Structure 1
Amino acid sequence: MGQSVHPAAASTHLPAFITAPGETDWLMIAMGMFLLLFVLAVGILYLRLHALPDRLAHNKVQLEVTCVLGLLAMFTHMHIFWIAGLLLALIDIPDVITPIKRIAGATEKIADRAEVEREELGERPSGPVIEPRNSAAA
């Protein structure tokens, strides 16, 4: 144990990130704040990306199905649900019910007009007469 450290072994010039005992380690504090901000930014980015199909949905039914698929993807960690929700949100589902309702309304108008014209001419309907169920005579 009689060996001593060579005087040239210890340097007086130390890097700035090495702190003396009892002093504050500013590099550790800076890296801790950077890590906290980075984790927060990645979390926000992940949640915004995860909610992307919900923001792209066009109508109410599409939005509801996309939201359910997004929740399934988030809780099961199966990305196929998120991909299915994104594809569903990107596809415009055609509106089939509105044209059918318009066709039905136009057909009713045509039928009413034909009935009025027959009544004006004094013709009797060729088919059986159907009485309404909620008539005032009943």
Structure 2
Amino acid sequence: MSASLNPASPHHLPAFITAPGETDVLMVVMAVFLVIAVLAVGLLFLRLHTLPERMAHRSHKLQFEIVAVLGLLALFTHQHIFWVAGLILALIDIPDFGNPLRRIAGSVERIAGIPPGQGADKEPDETAAAVPGEGTVDVPTPIAPTRGPLRPKPQISPVSTGS
């Protein structure tokens, strides 16, 4: 028996129709295209998702860790408000209050003659509570400045001109 075509079928078949037992080239091409498209969309999604974190890291913001945590929360909870909050936080500049206070403390230590960073080492622990029965904390009495006798102001005589 020989395989014959149906008389109602066209004599010329399109290229995407394969004969039985042959490899379907169109299906292989579409499978490769689908895998590449899924990977590209996933990569684009992750790049867009990490945008606030990259912005905060690039500009060396203090709140970088907070932005990173908000990004992870948005990724795992699918709550877009975390991503929006991270983006807004990455765009604003939170002022650094710690650095000026450290500079003031260093200047005060330098004025007092204490090596920088060791000012708190010599002070007693004022946060420790006094336990009854273990003794009391001696509080030093303040020393009032002494005043010496007032000195009279020097008298300035008018300068005479030789005319």
Query: TM-score, with normalisation over the residues of structure 1?
Result: 0.68
The runs of at least 4 consecutive aligned structure 1 residues that moved more than 6 Å come to none
Task: Check the 8 A contact 2:53/2:64 in 1, yes or no.
Answer: yes
Aligned in 2, Cα 1:15/1:87: closer, same or farther, shift over 3 Å?
same
Partner of 1:49: 48
Within the alignment, does 1:39 sit opposite 2:53 as a pair?
A: no
Larger % of helix: which? 1
Counterpart in the other structure of 2:153: none
Larger Rg: 2
For residues 6 and 104 of structure 1, the distance between their equivalents in structure 2, rounded to whole angstroms, comes to 97
| Equivalent residues in 2 for 1:19-98, closer than 5 Å | 19-57=18-56, 58-59=59-60, 61-98=62-99
The letter of the residue matching 2:52 is P
Residue ranges of structure 1 left out of the alignment (5+ in a row) = 114-126, 130-138
SS at the partner of 2:14?
coil
Aligned residues: 111
SS for the counterpart of 2:63 is helix
C-alpha separation between the residues in 1 aligned to 2:47 and 2:106? 44
The alpha-carbon deviation at position 40 of structure 1 amounts to 0.7
Match of 2:104 in 1: 103
User: Partner residue of 2:11?
Assistant: 12
Supply the AA of the counterpart residue of 1:24.
T
Paired residue type of 1:128:
P
Q: Which has the higher contact order (CA 8 A, sep 6+)?
A: 1
Shift of 1:19: 0.8
Structure 2 unaligned residues grouped into runs of 5+? 114-140, 144-163
What RMSD over aligned residues (CA atoms) do the two structures have, in Å?
Answer: 2.7
Alpha-carbon separation, structure 2, partners of 1:60 and 1:85: 12
Percent of residue pairs bearing the same amino acid type: 63
- TM-score using structure 2 length: 0.59
| Offset at residue 107 of structure 1 (A) | 4.6
In structure 1, distance between residues paired with 2:35 and 2:106: 62
Structure-2 change in CA distance of 1:43 and 1:85 (3 Å): same
Equivalent-residue separation in structure 2 for 1:26 and 1:108 (angstroms): 79
Return the offset for 1:17: 0.5
Contact kept, 8 Å, 2:61 with 2:93, in 1: the verdict is no
Over residues 66-108 of structure 1, what are the superposed CA-to-partner deviations in whole Å (9 max), with x where a residue is unaligned?
Answer: 1111111011100110111111111121212222332344455
